[in-house]
Every structure is written in C-alpha cells, then in structure tokens.
C-alpha cells in the first residue's frame, strides 16, 4: 500500500509540478487541478438538486441582470475572438501543425493570456445555470447543459496548464465566434417579448454550434495524420469530445425543432371547432342531412 501511495504521489507531482507550462503555473485556477475539480463537483451537486435548493423561493425575473450578463459575454467573446485571431496571425500559425511556443516572447504570452481568459470565462458561464434555477426554469438545466459546462472547465484547465497556445487556439477562436452570436441572441430575447419578431434565427444558432464540432473533429483527425510536435493524446481527446458534443447537440436539435414542426403540422390539420364544440366538417354534414330531410 505504501508503494502504491508513493507511486500516486510521484505521478501527481510529475504531472502537476514538472510537466506544466511554467509561464502559466502561478496563474489563477491553473496550478492545481483541485480548484476546477471541486468547482465541477459542487456545480453538479447544485444542478441536480436545484429544485430542492430553490423550493422556498419565488421565481425571479432577473431581466435586467440577464440582459447585462449576455451583452457582457458578447463583448468578452468578441475580445477573445480578436485576441485569438491576431495572436495566431502575427505569429504565423499553421492550421495543419502548430506546436506550442513555450517562450516568453510577447506573441507567445499574448496567446497564453487569451487562452487563460477563455478558460476563466467558463467559470463565468456557470452563472447561466444560477439564473435558470432562480427563475425556476429547471428544464433548461439539462444533461447537455451540465455536461457542456462541466467538461469545458476541466478541458480548458488542461489546455492552459499544458498547452497554452499552439493548435489549441482554433478551438477557442471558433467557439468565441459562436458565443458572440449566441449571447447576442440571448441578450436580445431577454429584452422583452417585442423582440421576438427579430429572433427568427434561433435554430440556426444550433446549426452553427454543430458546424463548429464538425470543423474541430476534421481538424483533430487531420492533425493526427501529420507528424507534429503537439500532444497526440490531446488531439485524440478533442476529436472524441467533439463527437460527444455533436451527438448531444444533434439530439437537442431534433427533439426541439423536429418535434415542434410535427406539433405545428398537427395543429394545422386539426378541424376548426365552433362554439358548441362541433367541428366544421361535422357541422356541414348535419346541415346537409337537415336539408335532405326538408
């Protein structure tokens, strides 16, 4: 037992103390995995017990707070999009193979900093679940929602800890663009019902989200085909992760939009009922029979 414990401690020390990116080692929520792990555990406990936790509370509106939150996230997403793109552009990043630059030159540090900003934004996004719970919108706290928020914190902890830059940038860049669009929609929808006529493009947000997973999956597979000084395990993990999200989002898309279309079609085919509870076809049939009797 002593030897097993010694091996575990030695492996942990090597992984956390020796193999991490020295530039990001002392940054907030990066040095140890226990911060993000504890956050995810507490977050999941709250999510799956949200009804009990908020049972004594009345549903809150929170409209002003939600509008401010969403437009703050739009600005944050646009900032990260800008930083990811131009950090990669000025450093002449390659889309086929881009190792991490562990140097402390300004461009390498700029990329590492935006990777950390993106990672930290995953903690800020947990506020969305708090808003759902306080508004008693428990259907929004779905398996997809909880899995996505939990996994992104753990995934991007490992990204900033070990590979703050390199091929990691594309994930953050594409997702920041998608989030800028997504939070614009949510911010406008929270303004009030009068905005609904301008929000016909809701389902296309899910299509855009699905597109990003397809791009990341293809990107990861291509990187596995070439010899590149970038962790193979991370490329494999990113591919599997993109597949899991694609499956979950596809399931959400079909349940939300295909079912809604069938319900709408069923309503359109439903016979019109008069004030007596008689359908138009039944009323016509009775009138015809009455005329025949006359």
Q: How far apart are CA 223 and CA 217, in angstroms?
A: 10
Active site residue 145: no
C-alpha dist (Å) from residue 159 to 134, 162, 198, 231, 234:
32, 6, 38, 11, 9
Please count the other Cβ atoms lying within 10 Å of the Cβ belonging to residue 268: 7
DSSP 89-125: HHTT--SS------S-SHHHHHHHHHHHHHHHHHHHT
Q: How far apart are CA 156 and CA 172, in angstroms?
A: 9
Taking each helix axis as running N to C, give the angle between helix 34-48 and helix 143-162, from 0 to 180 degrees, rounded to the nearest 10: 180
Catalytic option among 148, 179, 194, 262: 148
Q: How far apart are CA 166 and CA 247, in angstroms?
A: 27
Tell me the two tokens of residue 226.
Answer: 């070439």
Residue for token digits 């990861």?
A: 220
Judged by DSSP in three states, 273 sits in strand
Q: How far apart are CA 139 and CA 59, in angstroms?
A: 14
User: Is the torsion defined by CA of 66, 70, 75, 80 positive or negative?
Assistant: positive
Q: How far apart are CA 183 and CA 294, in angstroms?
A: 67
Catalytic residues: 148
């Amino acid at each position: 037992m002593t030897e097993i414990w010694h091996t575990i401690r030695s492996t942990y020390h090597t992984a956390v103390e020796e193999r991490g990116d020295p530039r990001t080692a002392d940054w907030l929520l990066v040095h140890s995995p226990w911060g993000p792990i504890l956050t995810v555990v507490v977050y999941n406990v709250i999510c799956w017990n949200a009804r009990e936790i908020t049972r004594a509370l009345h549903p809150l509106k929170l409209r002003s707070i939600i509008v401010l939150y969403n437009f703050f996230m739009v600005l944050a997403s646009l900032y990260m999009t800008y930083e990811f793109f131009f950090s990669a552009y000025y450093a002449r990043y390659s889309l086929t193979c881009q190792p991490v630059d562990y140097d402390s030159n300004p461009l390498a540090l700029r990329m590492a900093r935006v990777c950390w900003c993106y990672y930290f934004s995953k903690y800020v996004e947990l506020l969305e679940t708090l808003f759902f719970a306080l508004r008693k919108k428990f259907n929004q706290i779905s398996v997809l929602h909880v899995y996505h928020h939990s996994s992104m914190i753990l995934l991007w902890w490992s990204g900033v800890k070990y590979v703050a830059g390199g091929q990691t940038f594309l994930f953050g860049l594409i997702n920041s663009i998608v989030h800028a669009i997504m939070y614009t929609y949510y911010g406008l929808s929270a303004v009030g019902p009068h905005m609904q006529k301008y929000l016909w493009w809701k389902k296309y947000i899910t299509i855009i989200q699905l597109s990003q997973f397809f791009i990341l999956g293809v990107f990861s597979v291509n990187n596995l085909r070439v010899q590149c000084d970038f962790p193979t395990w991370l490329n494999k993990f990113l591919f599997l992760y993109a597949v899991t999200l694609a499956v979950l989002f596809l399931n959400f898309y079909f349940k939300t939009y295909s079912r809604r279309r069938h319900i709408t079609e069923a309503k359109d085919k439903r016979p019109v009922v008069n004030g007596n509870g008689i359908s138009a076809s039944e009323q016509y049939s009775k009138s015809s029979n009455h005329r025949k009797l006359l």
